[in-house]
Amino acid sequence: MATRRAPRPLVVLAVVACAITSIPLLYLVVRVGSSGLDELTMALGRQRIPQLLGNTVALATAVTISCVALGVPTAFLLTRTRLRATTLWVIVAALPLAIPSYLAAYGWLAAIPTMNGFIAAWFVLTLVCVPYITLPVAAALRVATSGLDDVARTLGYGPVRSFLLGTWPQIRPATLAGSLLVCLYVLSEFGAVALLRYPVLTTAINQAYGSSFNRNYAAILATVLVALAVLVVIAEQSARGRAKRRFTAGSGVVRHSVIRLGRWAPASYSLVAIVPLLAVGMPVGVLFYRLLQAETLRELNVTELLAATANTLALSIGGAVIAVVLALPIGVLAARYSGRIVRVIESVGYLALGLPGIVVGLSLVFFSLAVVPALYQTAIVLAFAYGVLFMPKAIGAIRSSLGQVPTSLEDVSRTLGYSTSQTWWLVTARVARPGILAGALLVAVTAMKELPATLLLRPTGTDTLAVELWSRTSASAYGAAAPYAAVLIVVAAIPAFFLSGARRAATEDTA
Amino acid sequence: MVLGISGCSTSGQSEVTSGAPIASDGRLTIYVGRAEDLISPLIDQFTADTGIEVSARYAATPELNALLLEEGENTPAQVFLSQDAGALGSLRNSGLLTALPATLTSLIPAGFTSVDGTWLGVTGRARVIAYDSEKLTAAQVPDSVDELTSADWKGQVAFAPGNASMQSFVTALRVLEGEDAASAWVGGMSENSPVLTESNNATLDLVNAGTVKVGLINHYYWYEKATEIGASNMRAQLKFLPGDAGGIVNVTGAAIMTGSDGDPDALAFLEYLVSEKGQRYFVDTTYEYPLLPGIDAPAGLPSLSSLINAGLDLSDLDTLSQTQALLARYGLI
């Protein structure tokens, strides 16, 4: 936005945050470096590599497009229309995030066993990824003005055209940030694509660990994923750059009209209901059906369930706090300053998100043993791992919400005699709060269902809900898994609830 | 029994270490590459019987294998209980396993345990054909995997080419029938529109749902699923393949990490696994083959001696990598 030089302390903080999240990339350099040139050429020359690469790109592209197509209208309905029980719908819209993608795939497979290949993977991953668009776009819409739409309407444009001219440029950064998360998520996803038999790079990485015990080959494939992630991040940045040139939000007035649904009500309710129903209702329904059908049931150990719930909450909240602390300097830098260094710092911050959890988990094993061996296999390292893994999820939300705080507001604050830090707390952080909270929510919810890194890094004997779920489904005990899946979703609804609270606060602030 | 391609890979480093024997501290850390629900009752029983407190870390075998390789000598693990022999072979090649006492390794017949005494075979799983009993009778299911390359089975065979136990079957095929025959089989299967999955469980689900007529899996997955939904509700049924390379036996195994060489608690656990009590636990709970001679196989299973075990060193990664090269050549992995 501004072309001022970034203050040095901020750049230093951002560089440190960026270095921390680059641990997985450094690890890959070490691993790929220890494989010979022969191994490298042979790995990349395998007959299946072009197919795996093509499949990976096709899936990531298709899922991103469909998530935008579903997520933007959903966010609009949640924030700009008179839906009944809006708070409930906001929570419901976030729920698919609580479903591990392999569980969604499992649910659909149980119902339709013939599901497989591209269409199946595209369908299931779209369901679980839509909230990555819905949440940041809804956060952006809450602080966006619809005044420009009104201006467009008075100039004779239709409602859709006016939205595209007035509101869309204000939510475009959030849409792009969400798309980036979806795209990187699909690049790194393993569970669902494996079950739905769609071969991509991550399934090949898993085979490299699972049958060849070949860490170097796995690292080479993971590096290909990083290269793809670089392309995706650059594409998002250049798209965002164009958006900035086309439009700058000048008005500090946050005000928007609320639309009555009228005859659009049935279609609107269907849209906000369909994704959560298919993504959450289906797999949970199947698990409970299995629970009723099961002939032998292992007794539900309530103490174990409660302990796993407490562990899950504590670890994911810790992870969210660490992630937001790491993401803030990068997000502020990216929102307020431009230039090559800023772009590089921001891009590198995102890359680890394109890597499958097992690679990131191993890199943190490597790192913590080398640097803080005393903390190895403690909750601290695991929470730190969540922070590193999911920090990029917070960057976009923070950056796009800060981007909507007009610098003129801060200038006013300073002319009134407030210091830079007072201005930050009183003005910037306050206006950007919904976005920062949405970022923390995304991190917490994702951390709750995280499995591969948790299995590698957790303190021995500490179980989370996702671990308990895995432990049961991996032994075909789907019925016994049902209570854990249900509690995971209930627990994940807590951050979703806080998000809706943030929404109310934001509405009051601007009323 | 031992046909022996015992060509114990090039990397046979010596794990012999000297020094004073470690005293028992009554505590043991184990990495378990199998489902917690299956193994934790056994560990509880071990603690009750011996007084040794166990701290167990559960994850899938590939993850724990990668974890152990990453941790190297810094691992807190003293014992690794692995779902397959290949993972143990990769740890041995990295010099992370100790040599076990011969009194222990000699309990398990050759072919079902390590060639060099670095790991101990614990249980066996037979490769089988799972078939859709609504479309096929047992007699219509081939007695040999050789027939599955014919046009009759086009698009009807599911398997997990990246799975370790599937790959050791292909290795057995190479050893038993020769490289040309194995290459012909893999090529024939790849052209027969196979349905490729990522796991034995996923393969079984496809057969159980009637999506494919047959699947190549390990026998014990069927029993796991039957425990969950009831044997009478299983649409998939198993055909064992006595005398066929497609019906070989894979093993699960345990090893002691270098840092715990000679640790009495670790040795006690391995002894427990292959004790009568330990072996019976597996027979009753997981329906796997006991490897200790004299313990009966689970009811309804053909005897272990009727199934071919090529005396393969299932942990020999050199021959495994040749198998993978073969599968890669036909685009299966």
CB contacts of B196 in chain A (<8 Å) are: 197, 199
- Please give, rounded to a whole number of angstroms, the shortest distance from the CA of A352 to a CA of chain B: 19
CB contacts of A204 in chain B (<8 Å) are: 162, 333
Residue pair A498/A437 in contact by the 8 Å Cβ criterion: yes
Q: How far apart are CA B75 and CA A214, in angstroms?
A: 19
pLDDT 10s digit of each residue in chain A, 511 long? 445 677 888 899 999 999 999 999 999 998 898 878 888 888 888 878 899 999 999 999 999 999 999 999 999 999 888 888 888 888 888 888 878 888 899 889 888 878 889 999 999 999 999 998 998 888 788 877 777 888 888 888 888 888 888 888 888 988 998 899 999 999 999 989 988 989 999 999 988 887 777 888 899 999 999 999 999 999 998 887 765 544 444 444 556 677 788 888 888 999 999 999 999 988 888 878 877 877 666 677 888 899 999 999 999 999 999 999 999 999 989 888 888 888 899 899 888 888 888 898 999 999 999 999 999 999 999 999 999 989 988 887 788 778 767 777 778 888 888 887 788 777 777 878 877 887 888 899 889 989 889 999 999 889 999 998 888 877 667 777 888 888 888 887 777 666 554 445 444 444 3
3-state SS class at B210: coil
Residue B221 clears pLDDT 80, i.e. is over it? yes
Which chain B residue's Cα is nearest to A458? B57
At A431-464, the pLDDT tens digits run 788 778 878 888 998 899 898 899 999 998 899 9
Residue B35 clears pLDDT 50, i.e. is over it? yes
Residue A337 pLDDT: 85
Higher pLDDT, B319 or B152: B152
- Strands B214-218 and B157-159, by their bridges, are parallel
Give me the DSSP letters along A29-79: HHHHHTS-HHHHHHHHT-TTHHHHHHHHHHHHHHHHHHHHHHHHHHHHHHH
Residue B238 clears pLDDT 70, i.e. is over it? yes
Q: What share of chain A is helix, strand, coil (3-state, %, to 5)?
A: 80, 0, 20
Tokens 């796997």 sit on residue? B288
A137-165 CB burial, b ≥16 within 10 A, e <16: bbbbbbbbbbbbbeebbeeebeeeebbeb
Question: Which residues make Cβ contacts (< 8 Å) with residue B333, sequence separation at least 6?
Answer: A48, A204, A207, A211, B161, B162, B324, B327
- Strands B289-290 and B120-132, by their bridges, are antiparallel
Residue B310 pLDDT: 60
Which chain B residue's Cα is nearest to A115? B211
Tokens of A252: 């500090």
Residue B7 pLDDT: 38
Q: How far apart are CA A349 and CA A330, in angstroms?
A: 8
Return the closest-CA partner of residue B125 out of B250, B234, B33, B8.
B250
Mean pLDDT across chain B, nearest whole number?
A: 89
A42-54 CB burial, b ≥16 within 10 A, e <16: ebeebeebeebbe
B69:A358 CB<8 A = no
Q: How far apart are CA A42 and CA A498, in angstroms?
A: 51
CB contacts of A376 in chain B (<8 Å) are: 74, 76
- Please give, rounded to a whole number of angstroms, the shortest distance from the CA of B113 to a CA of chain A: 19
Which of A207, A301, A375, A478 has the highest number of chain B CBs within 10 A, making it the mutation to test binding with B? Answer: A207
Residue pair B200/B128 in contact by the 8 Å Cβ criterion: no
Residue A476 pLDDT: 66
Tokens of B326: 């073969």
Q: Mark which residues 132-191 of B lie under 8 Å from A by CB.
A: 162-164, 167
Considering the domain A8-245+266-510 in this protein, what is its CATH number?
Answer: 1.10.3720.10
- Strands B120-132 and B195-196, by their bridges, are unpaired
A476:B228 CB<8 A = yes
Q: How far apart are CA A373 and CA B73, in angstroms?
A: 12
A213:B90 CB<8 A = yes
Residue A508 pLDDT: 42
Q: How far apart are CA B313 and CA A263, in angstroms?
A: 71
Tokens 């952080």 sit on residue? A429
> Taking the CB of residue A296, how many other CB atoms lie within 10 A of it?
12
Tell me the CB-side half-sphere exposure of residue B118, using CA atoms within 13 A.
31
At B165-176, the pLDDT tens digits run 898 899 889 988
Does this model's pTM top 0.90?
no
At B280-315, the pLDDT tens digits run 999 999 899 999 999 999 988 998 888 876 667 878
Residue A341 pLDDT: 87
Q: In chain A, what's the furthest Cα-to-Cα distance?
A: 73
Q: How far apart are CA A183 and CA A451, in angstroms?
A: 20
3-state SS class at A91: helix
Tokens 């809450």 sit on residue? A142
Which chain B residue's Cα is nearest to A48? B331
CB contacts of A46 in chain B (<8 Å) are: 328
Residue pair A356/A222 in contact by the 8 Å Cβ criterion: yes
Q: How far apart are CA A161 and CA A173, in angstroms?
A: 19
Domains of chain B: 27-124+249-301 (3.40.190.10), 126-248+322-329 (3.40.190.10)
Tokens of B193: 């529109």
Q: How far apart are CA B116 and CA B100, in angstroms?
A: 9
CA distances (Å), origin A82, targets A255, A265, A494, A497, B143: 16, 9, 24, 19, 67
Residue A501 pLDDT: 46
Residue pair A124/A108 in contact by the 8 Å Cβ criterion: yes
3-state secondary structure B81-134: EECCHHHHHHHHHCCCECCCCHHHHCCCCCCCCCCCCCCEEEEEEEEEEEEECC
3-state SS class at B217: strand
CB neighbour class for B267 (10 Å; exposed up to 12, middle 13-18, buried from 19):
buried
Taken in order A95, A98, A104, A105, is the CA torsion positive or negative? positive
> Taking the CB of residue B242, how many other CB atoms lie within 10 A of it?
13
Quote the ipTM score: 0.83
Domain ranges for chain A, please list them. 8-245+266-510
Give me the DSSP letters along B258-314: GGGTT-HHHHHHHHHHTSHHHHHHHHHHH-PEE-STTSPPPTTSPPGGGS------T
Taken in order A381, A384, A386, A392, is the CA torsion positive or negative? negative
Residue pair B79/B256 in contact by the 8 Å Cβ criterion: yes
Q: How far apart are CA A502 and CA B10, in angstroms?
A: 63
Q: What is the DSSP letter of B22?
A: P
CB contacts of A461 in chain B (<8 Å) are: 55-57
Q: How far apart are CA A108 and CA A100, in angstroms?
A: 13
Residues found in chain B: 333
Tokens of A489: 């979703």
Residue pair B102/B124 in contact by the 8 Å Cβ criterion: no
Please give the span between the terminal C-alpha atoms of chain A, in angstroms, as a whole number: 27
A194:B198 CB<8 A = yes
B163:A210 CB<8 A = yes
